[in-house]
A and B are shown apart, each in its own frame.
Chain A
């Protein structure tokens, strides 16, 4: 079943085109990797799909509802409740502890402080960093920070997780560990994942891989959703 759909999406930065009429379907529960060289438009595509950025032309539909025409507040709420977003770095609030960072989306949604903290501690435990719950990001390693960010992206139990180069700032071993956690947890949650990366190793964790070049998608696996991942999901 298609959970997310893009049709003819166009986006430019000034005179420079980033997306030239991209269309794709994302199926529920799959891990989709969008790969390509730097500057090919894959991050822009992810931002458009996640409602962070509005396309200049084309449409984005989530569960049959058009989302690209919604207000910033509507799209923010969507990102807080239905979507989770994981970036390469810089997404944690440096002044808050790991637990507070993970609890933040729940607090913003109006959940009580105690309840939000309990959920945050549960998620920190699930991604294996419960021991740094009261540390600030500056006191954590890169891998711990990224797992903390993963916990924050999943604490609201989103249906879709968008990950933009999630291991780009990590060494190979730590990157493997974080990806392992991401695949395991999203599989347990039946969460759909849209993963943007330029590393074939990272794309290897996905069920389906799409290659992007100069703002256009080249579907190397013919858009067929594979029921289980190649790395033993």
Chain B
């Protein structure tokens, strides 16, 4: 088969296929843009070392997040994390119009295409969409790079528009994302057997999910908690043992968060199945009974649909925990300063420090990710309704009222979402608490010389004007930020409810009795 044939067959779809291609391209563009932004931050050059204890700052930028070399990796990681919901959205988009695409691929198989050729056709679609999206993102990035390169009145730059990632890095980013998208498409298609009968068989898992993702969550939290001791060891280990490299110290932090997130997302499959079983066991009304059966029939659908949303809620809860830690630490520091300096206003008031401002940025990133995740959930719910339209139409034809179907869809979405979101919030808040459950400050002492520099530097007079200031040790337990956690749960559930409401708009047209006549 020639490449042009593969492209022609890949793009021969209907309007739903066109929407899928456009959404995949948009997701690829967003992900590429986030990646390029992260790479640009990492490309900022640190000025030559002046021998100071701290690395020199890049003073050409207005924001401390870009100026401080120590903060830039965090900014880059935050930008890369923004790719997660975008890629999840792309994953949901691949399911849009999937039945029609699978039918088309089956018909092509019937015409004599080999399994490899049908996979190549599916990959051609994803690859073309991803390449287009990546190309658009590159153009947008370069244009933005030029247009936004305007120093402010103080001569500093708002964004790192004075640097570009190296050419090999740009090439790797440009090729990597389309390849990643195509790899994801292969993974999605791995369970789809397109037979030449014109039938598509999804090889489902027959056995019920096990709660083994709980092990991942426990491991993740333990690994995350190991960051604290490791970090302390980096500074305290005797020289003869040798210092632990910085990158090794960070592994438990990100590895633990990753493991716990995966555990929560996969655990949603078991939660879906269990809630479905409970609904089937205890429900008496048709809507929850129907929802229970559907949850048990495909428990992983809930896991797939809620994955990005759960990751967002987990990070939001984690961010709330970190914010609580910072706030407590600042309050303890302010108290220590006040005690050390005597009566008078403290120079650091809780709630307005640099770290807390950084957490505001993290919250903003989580909110953006949540909106993208909700978009993915809308796609999933609408796709689920459209895919089952003949079943729904048959139910309506046999006398099931449409509101019952609507409530069944609501039960199906909300029943697993409530425990899954609660689990995500719990794990999210456990992560920072495994690291630190109390804020400590003070306990140290230092000399203060209350005289002129000359008197203080003179060994004869120095002792006369010098006093020892002892900072009292302040230990405060970090409170659980219940209000912020409740907000995270509320926003998560509101997102689910809103997406179900949007999805139900499509229910009426999808339960039209004409659907039964469609061949």
Interface residues of B in 8-58 (CB under 8 A from A): 9, 12-14
Let me know if A95 and B12 touch, CB within 8 A: yes
Let me know if B114 and A92 touch, CB within 8 A: no
Let me know if A90 and B107 touch, CB within 8 A: yes
- Tally A residues with Cβ within 8 Å of B: 31
- Tally B residues with Cβ within 8 Å of A: 26
A79: interface (CB < 8 Å): yes
Let me know if A105 and B112 touch, CB within 8 A: yes
A125 smallest CB distance to B (angstroms): 20
Q: Mark A88-128, 1 if CB is under 8 A from B, else 0.
A: 01111111100011001101111011000000000000000
The listed residue (A76, A93, A110) touching B107 by CB distance below 8 A is A93
Q: Which residues of A contact B (CB under 8 A)?
A: 47, 52, 72-73, 76-77, 79-81, 85, 87, 89-96, 100-101, 104-105, 107-110, 112-113, 152, 156
Let me know if A110 and B2 touch, CB within 8 A: yes
Given contacts A93-B104, A107-B1, contact A76 B198 (CB under 8 A): no
Let me know if A91 and B107 touch, CB within 8 A: yes
B236: interface (CB < 8 Å): no
B185: interface (CB < 8 Å): no
B62: interface (CB < 8 Å): no
Residue pairs across A and B with Cβ atoms less than 8 A apart, 13 shown, are A73-B114, A76-B196, A77-B112, A80-B113, A85-B196, A93-B12, A93-B107, A94-B103, A94-B104, A95-B14, A95-B104, A104-B111, A108-B112
B197: interface (CB < 8 Å): yes
Contacts of A101 in B (CB 8 A): 111
Let me know if B108 and A93 touch, CB within 8 A: yes
Let me know if A113 and B4 touch, CB within 8 A: yes
Contacts of A81 in B (CB 8 A): 112
Let me know if A108 and B113 touch, CB within 8 A: yes
B284: interface (CB < 8 Å): no
B460 smallest CB distance to A (angstroms): 95
Let me know if A87 and B117 touch, CB within 8 A: no
Contacts of A72 in B (CB 8 A): 114-115
Q: Mark B502-519, 1 if CB is under 8 A from A, else 0.
A: 000000000000000001
Let me know if B14 and A76 touch, CB within 8 A: no
B5: interface (CB < 8 Å): yes
Contacts of A47 in B (CB 8 A): 197
Residue of A nearest to B116 (CB): A73
In the assembled complex, the Cα of A72 lies from the Cα of B195 at a distance in Å of 10
Contacts of A76 in B (CB 8 A): 109, 112-115, 117, 196
